[in-house]
Structure formats: structure tokens, C-alpha cells
Amino acid sequence: MKHIEQILPEELGSQIVDISTSQSLRESIIKDATQGTKTETTMNEELQATVVCAVRKIGNHTKQLNISKNGTYQVTPDSGTLLKAVDVHVDASSSVLVDFVKNGGKFAYSNANNIPIVWEDITGNNLNYLLIDGVCSVEIAQRLLNLLTDDKNYADYMLGVDFTNVGSEVYWRFPDGFKNSKKSNIMSNNNNLVGAHVTLDCNELEYTGTLFGWTGIKRLTLLNTKQLKSFYNPTSSIAIDAFDCDGLQSTPYNGIHNGTTTLGGFINLGKGFLQNGSAKDHTMWFDSDMQNLSHDSLVNIFNGLYDLNLHTFTFTNQPTIQLGATNYSRVSAAEIKIATDKGWIVTK
Amino acid sequence: MKTIKAPDGYYYKKDAIYTTEINLPDGFSVDGWELVTEAEFQAYQREREARMLEEELSMRRGYIPEATTSNPEQEGGEG
């Protein structure tokens, strides 16, 4: 017999842990949330292969998935595309590997060397390498995020989330747990999002990391994002209508990679800048990267900037656009004046 | 708008910004910018390019699924 141990925190209140959709669990978990009791249930060993993954947020906590002492404990979704809302707590006391298996194939795993034994206690720690191997849906990925990120500082490297077939409007909202998080790197594998308007709603996330290999995006809206480390496109140029940057407190670090020719600009960049931000935070660099920007793209950038004169304060370091010699030669003084009239310094 | 040009062989420098030409909004001056030699700028460029290369390699290393270590605090540093 394998044991599934369900710990019900007091914060659960009257919330129901829904396992009714699982066809493989024969027993139900008695939910006695008001007393915060620990309840155990068991399942037959032969049903192990069809146990549905345990990904669920409970109250203000994310339910932990711990690992057995004997190595990998596989938690396998059913034949559908969605993980079921069953919480699984497997007793563990040593460092092992987490596997998520779909139809017999591992689609996500994490090296347990970086995972504390009790995930509820990882506040302040770095959860490295949640690897999603290009076959899981956004729905599954977000459920995994719910599992992993509540009340944590940041999760690092969520790889290969496949947005390719989710349509022209891609809305990625980080779970509520990210509200208390600080950072997340997002590195998705070869997502060719031709014509898509991607909205990242980071829910007050301070820092969104590299968007690796995202191509074909028409527009990227950054909601509630204070920093974007970089939009990193290593293989080809991109054409993007615009980044919506209202909430950014600093310029996108590293900007957009070389090769980019067509860009709609960074809409409202500067609106979220802090009065005492550093010179680095307030400088948009085009001098070493992005020397292939078209004339129209450069003008789009000027047009999209936020009018700094609307701020009620004076910046310690006035926001600056560093064009580099090549880009500088593509624009006229009158076009540069579009930016300076908004209070931006424009340098060669 | 006021355009300020550095003398030949010199760059204006402010923090990590090096430039030969500055376009200032009305009411702003070049106070806070210092003149440095081209040699100093070139040295800065070499150091910057090396750092950017290392950051790119770091990101590619991080992309290897078997990789087990990372520290975004270090990666998110200089611009």
C-alpha cells in the first residue's frame, strides 16, 4: 500500500480539496479543516500509475509535494490534458528527483538537490530548474507554478512551456503566490508565437527574467512587472508591435537581442521609473545591441516613451536613450527632439 | 533641445554611458558628465563586451536541463 498523507492547514477553512474528479482514488479524504487536523488516506498500489498529480493551492499556502526516500515517486496525470486537483504528500527525508509524467513520458522534473524536503519551508530560498519539457499546456504549467511558488521568493528557470498552440491571444498570469515573490526567470523553448499578443500579468512580480527563444510575438504587454531582465532571442530577428511597459521601474536589461529590425517601441517606458533609480536603471541601451533597427522603429521608440514632464518629481538620474553611432545616424534632430521634449536625454 | 558634442578624441561619460554627443532636454546641462579619453572608452568597451558574452553563455548554460545550479542574483547585475 502506498500512503498519501493529507495535511490540512487551519487556513484551509471550509475550502474543499477536490479529489472527486480522480477516477483512480478509491477513498475520499475527509476534510476537517476547522480543526486543522492531519488526515491520511491510502490507495491500492496497483493504482499508483494512474494517480493524478497533486497540484493545488490551499488557502494562503501551496500544498507541498514531497518525495519518497526511495527515489522518484511518479505522479501521473490521467489521459486528459489537465492535472486533477488532488494533493499528494509523500513522506520523504532525503534528496531525490521530482518527476511529472504524462502518458508515460516525463514532462517536468526538478533536481531535488535544490528542493528543500518540505517545500512549505522554502521561503527565502531559490527553487531552481522547474523544467517543463515542451509538451505541457499553459494550464498545467500554471498549476505547477501554483504548487511551487506561493509565498516563495522566486522560482528559477521554467523551461520549455509550449505556448505555440494557444492562439493569438496568450495570457499568462502568474499565480497569486507571485505577489510575494521577487523574481522569476522565464526561459521558454522555441515558442513561435506568430502574430500573438502575449500578456504577462506578473502580479506585482518585481523581476521577470529572460524570455528565451520567444519568436513571432506581435505585442508583449507587461502587467504588474517592475523589471524585465531581457527579451532574449538568440536565433533570429523579431518584429514586434510594442512592449507595454507601464509598470517597469527600469529599462529592460539587455533590451532586445541583435538582429531585431522592426520594433513598435516601448510604450510608456519611464512611467514607472523611480525618482532615485540608478543611471543604469534609467538608461535604454541600443549601442551594442540592436544596431539593425529601422528608422521607423527608432521613431516608434521615441513616440512610445512616457512624457517624464508628467512626473511630479525630478529624477536623480534623468532617463536616457543611448542610441549608438549607427542608430544615431538614422534619425534626424527633429526626431530626437520627440524624445527630448518628453524629458529624455538622447545620446549618440 | 540642446546638442553637446565632445572634442575629437574624447567622450562624455556618466556612469556607464559613454558618448560623443548628448541631446539634452530644455533646462538641462552637461553638469554631471565628465570628459574622458577614447582610450578609456575602449577599455570600458572591451570589459563590457566580455561581460555580455559571459552573460550570454551563462544563459545558454542555464538552458541545459541537466544543469543544477543557478543564481539569478548574479545574473541580473550590470547592464
- Judged by a CB distance cut-off of 8 A, whether residue A156 touches chain B is yes
Residue B47 in grid coordinates:
570589459
**What integer pLDDT is reported at residue A227 of this predicted model?**
79
- Judged by a CB distance cut-off of 8 A, whether residue B62 touches chain A is yes
DSSP state of A256: B
Q: Is B5 a residue whose pLDDT tops 90?
A: yes
Q: Taking CB atoms and an 8 Å cut-off, how many pairs form between chains A and B? A: 112
Q: Out of A129, A157, A322, name the one closest to residue B17 (CB).
A: A322
The answer to whether A283 and B14 are in contact (CB under 8 A) is no
CA-nearest residue to A227 within chain B is B76
Q: What is the pLDDT along chain A (348 residues), one digit of tens a residue?
A: 333 333 333 332 222 232 222 222 222 232 333 333 333 333 322 222 222 223 222 222 233 333 332 334 334 333 333 333 233 333 333 333 344 433 333 333 333 332 222 222 222 233 333 333 233 344 444 444 444 443 333 344 343 344 444 456 666 555 444 454 555 655 444 455 666 677 766 666 666 766 655 666 777 788 777 877 766 554 555 667 788 899 899 888 655 656 677 888 899 999 999 999 998 889 998 876 678 889 999 999 999 999 999 999 999 999 999 999 999 999 999 999 999 999 999 999
Q: What count of other Cβ atoms lies within 10 Å of the Cβ of residue A14?
A: 7
Q: Is A134 left (phi over 0), alpha (psi -120 to 50) or beta?
A: left
Q: What count of other Cβ atoms lies within 10 Å of the Cβ of residue A128?
A: 23
Residues of chain A with Cβ-Cβ distance to B48 below 8 Å are 288
Q: What count of other Cβ atoms lies within 10 Å of the Cβ of residue A28?
A: 11
**What integer pLDDT is reported at residue A194 of this predicted model?**
62
Q: Do A126 and B62 touch (CB under 8 A)?
A: no
Q: Is A39 left (phi over 0), alpha (psi -120 to 50) or beta?
A: beta
> What is the dihedral sign for C-alpha A78, A79, A80, A82?
positive
Q: Which helix (H) or strand (E) holds A333?
A: helix A333-340
- Model pLDDT for residues B6-16, shown as the tens digit of each residue: 999 999 999 88
DSSP secondary structure of B4-19: EEPPTTEEEEETTEEE
Task: Calculate how close chain A gets to B14, using CA atoms only, in Å.
Answer: 8
- Judged by a CB distance cut-off of 8 A, whether residue A336 touches chain B is yes
Q: Do B23 and A207 touch (CB under 8 A)?
A: no
Q: Which of A289, A322, A348 to substitute to test the interface with B, most B CBs within 10 Å?
A: A348
Q: Do A322 and B72 touch (CB under 8 A)?
A: no
ipTM above 0.85 for this complex:
no
Residue A79 in grid coordinates:
489521459
The answer to whether A181 and A149 are in contact (CB under 8 A) is yes
